[in-house]
Amino acid sequence: MTGRFFLSDRPFRPKRRSGLLLLCAVLGLALVLPLRGLSLAREPYRIGYLPNAQISLESKNRLEAVYARAGLPVEFVPLPQKRSLYLAAAGDLDGDAGRIYGLESNYPSMIRVEGKLLNFNGAAYVIKGQHIGEYRDSLLDVMKVGSLCGVVWVEKVMKGRCLEQVNTYEGLFAMLLEGRIDLVLSSQRSAETVFRKAPHFYESIERLEPLVFQTTFYHYLNEKNADIVPKLEKALKELRDENYWDDEAQ
């Protein structure tokens, strides 16, 4: 058979190596691209709030809706009131849930989000039947006064006067009932929340008129987050225009 050759009787099969490589490349891209998208996603904005104060909890609840409407991720960090403010001012937090107007005069690194977040009323509470009459500032000079720790408006009202401070509203009103203090300064929201939990227990406590302190709460951010302020202001306005919240309760 010299000089002759024979073709194999096996059918011709094209090499699959290049096809497999192409398939692997496509699958690899399909897996990598979503992961790249995840890695580029913005971490949630970290906002401090005071967990044992109703006004701060309400601010947090409202901001959850505002950030959701603005399409921004957010995480709320429970902290003591002053620590939350200091960390936000230093840039270790992105902001603080709710503060009174004018905070930026003392903390220039903080930016106010325009638009009312909620109203705030501070009130005086005493034991019924003492015939005290209306609230007046002179009561603070002759009565033993208590409040929650770290409440800025109370510290301003009580400047130069003695003040008993505790960590919970339940503990605060217990001191009033036990006669260890004569008058409580508290946000109206927080006090009414406590009273609703056990109305018979607190039925001997009354709120004096007029209110001790009235202001508006705003959301504040560290200046490093100035770029999201317009988005939050737009979202807040939209929600207010829709009457999203009931602002009759103070």
| CATH at 70 | 3.40.190.10
- Indicate whether 176 pLDDT > 90: yes
Residues 104 and 81 in one domain: yes
Number of domains in the chain: 2
pLDDT for residue 10: 52
pLDDT-derived band at 13, boundaries 50, 70, 90: low
**Torsion sign (Cα): 60, 66, 68, 71:** negative
190 within domain boundaries: yes
Residues 160 and 209 in one domain: yes
Q: Residue 132 sits in which domain range?
A: 121-213
26 within domain boundaries: no
22 within domain boundaries: no
Residues 59 and 75 in one domain: yes
Residues 99 and 159 in one domain: no
On whether the CB atoms of residues 175 and 166 are closer than 8 A, the answer is: yes
49 within domain boundaries: yes
102-125 pLDDT, tens digit each:
889 989 999 999 999 999 999 999
The H-or-E segment that residue 241 falls in is helix 229-241
76 within domain boundaries: yes
Residues 89 and 149 in one domain: no
Mean pLDDT, the chain, as a whole number?
87
- Indicate whether 14 pLDDT > 90: no
Residues 65 and 170 in one domain: no
Separation between Cα atoms, residue 105 and residue 126, nearest integer Å: 34
